[in-house]
Structure 1
């Protein structure tokens, strides 16, 4: 299997929300599971977040539901400009991205950019990094790359 990512296994679906407490409670009830802990993304010092090529103070509250073969991620962004805040403002609540695990993050970002899929936002998290690729014109949803150490 080739393709631009090196795999085609969706590992996560990200959903933007205005009220993560309320929506995570609704998902927990719907699936009959425990409501997950809600955490904040790290600040710039640790996350090194960049949005559209510039450093960003953007943060978000996150909740994760492990659903067997994939994870549902609920995202409630803060007010700073970011892929999350801008998309929520423009499109309202709902799906934001599908995520894939990759190896060689920087090489994948460069390959995708050369193929007409520019980097929109990237950052670090404990144990890895993420990158949102602007695939909306072609795929109608953002693609997120996840690389764990």
Structure 2
């Protein structure tokens, strides 16, 4: 497999919203599925969130819809500095990222940065880590890298 990520399988589309309860209900109604439980991202001590190289208390409410081979993620950010907050302020509600499951997070971040795609935000979640790369100028959306811990 060539390409920068070693995969071309989009695993998730992330959409920024102002009101996650309202929008997740709209998606549930539209697709005729159950409204997912809204979760809140971990506190900084667990998530270790960094935005543009600096620690941030940024948290967000998330709702996930599993749509076959693709997951739809709704994101309602808090007011702390984050890619979610700045993107929502600049672009309004709508698509934020496409995500790919990768291996070798540090190496992939270094590779993408060397190609002119800077790291915007990274953090940990239970079972893995994520990184948002600023690919907006070229791809018109951010790319999220997801690396899950080996079981």
TM-score over 0.5 for the pair:
yes
Q: How far 1:76 sits from its partner (Å)?
A: 0.1
Q: Counterparts of 1:16-95 in structure 2 under 5 Å?
A: 16-95=16-95
Q: Counterparts of 1:110-149 in structure 2 under 5 Å?
A: 110-149=110-149
Structure 1: which 4+ aligned runs deviate by more than 4 Å? none
How far apart, in 1, do the equivalents of 2:111 and 2:43 lie?
A: 28
Q: 1:81-135 CA distances to partner (integer Å, 9 max, x unpaired)?
A: 1100000011100000000000000100000001111100000000000000000
Local SS of the residue matching 2:86: helix
Q: How far 1:36 sits from its partner (Å)?
A: 0.3
Q: Counterparts of 1:92-103 in structure 2 under 5 Å?
A: 92-103=92-103
Runs of 5+ unmatched residues, structure 1: none
How far apart, in 1, do the equivalents of 2:122 and 2:44 lie?
A: 11
How far apart, in 1, do the equivalents of 2:48 and 2:2 lie?
A: 31
Local SS of the residue matching 2:11: strand
How many matched pairs? 149
Relative to the length of structure 1, the TM-score reads 0.99
Relative to the length of structure 2, the TM-score reads 0.98
How far apart, in 2, do the equivalents of 1:103 and 1:122 lie?
A: 15
Aligned to 1:9: 9
